[in-house]
């Protein structure tokens, strides 16, 4: 993850972005992501939106692009110095969004969202350190024909399946208990 957005949030009624520090009974202690880094308390009535949970709508109704990926795309193209601001011309902002996410949903992503995205990126890129994704982090894919042999000391998983011979021998295992069906006889009252 290029920028660590897990503790960065936008809070309703409060301008800017904040780092969540510690929960309290009445809300959460926050620190502003600016040069002042002032601390305050956001009350429980404020809506806190974590940036790592925010996504951008695309033309595919079931697919969205997470904000962390959007920030990574912006950093790959522009670096930490974004030439746009939230006061840039609407055509420039729309063109910028089209470059970053070509298939973004133009009906559900409003101009105010694009301006907010630019403002948030400028704040995050000036405050947080960009961490380039390591090439070793990508999981290696193994083909279905490859089978790995377990090491001599490695336990082999049965995937929850117990052979029938072991099942009947497990006296203390409640799942292995045999169920006997009993017939109920009913007596008629005479």
Q: Packing angle between helix 67-78 and helix 111-127, nearest 10 degrees?
A: 70
- Distance between CA 10 and CA 50 in Å, rounded? 7
Token readout for 169 is: 């021998």
Distance CA 14, CA 30 (A): 11
Cα separations in angstroms, 107 against 58, 60, 61, 103: 10, 12, 12, 11
Higher pLDDT residue, 175 or 51? 51
**pLDDT tens, 147-159?**
444 445 444 444 4
Residues, the chain, total? Answer: 190
Summarised one tens digit per residue, pLDDT across range 55-91 is 999 998 889 988 888 888 888 888 878 888 888 888 9
The rounded percent of the chain whose pLDDT value lies above 70 is 65
């Amino acid at each position: 993850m290029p920028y660590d957005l897990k503790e960065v949030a936008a809070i309703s009624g409060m301008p800017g972005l904040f780092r969540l520090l510690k929960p309290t009974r009445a809300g959460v202690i926050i620190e502003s992501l600016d040069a002042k880094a002032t601390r305050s308390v956001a009350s429980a009535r404020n809506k806190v939106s974590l940036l790592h949970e925010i996504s951008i709508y695309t033309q595919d109704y079931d697919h969205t692009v997470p904000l962390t990926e959007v920030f990574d795309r912006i950093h790959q193209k522009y670096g930490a110095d974004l030439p746009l601001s939230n006061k840039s011309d609407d055509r420039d902002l729309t063109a910028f969004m089209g470059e970053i996410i070509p298939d973004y949903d133009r009906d559900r992503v409003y101009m105010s969202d694009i301006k907010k995205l630019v403002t948030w990126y400028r704040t995050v890129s000036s405050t947080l350190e960009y961490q380039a994704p390591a090439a070793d982090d990508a999981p290696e894919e193994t083909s279905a024909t490859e089978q790995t042999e377990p090491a001599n000391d490695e336990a082999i998983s049965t995937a929850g399946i117990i052979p029938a011979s072991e099942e009947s021998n497990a006296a203390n295992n409640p799942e292995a208990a045999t169920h006997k069906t009993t017939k109920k006889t009913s007596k008629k009252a005479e």
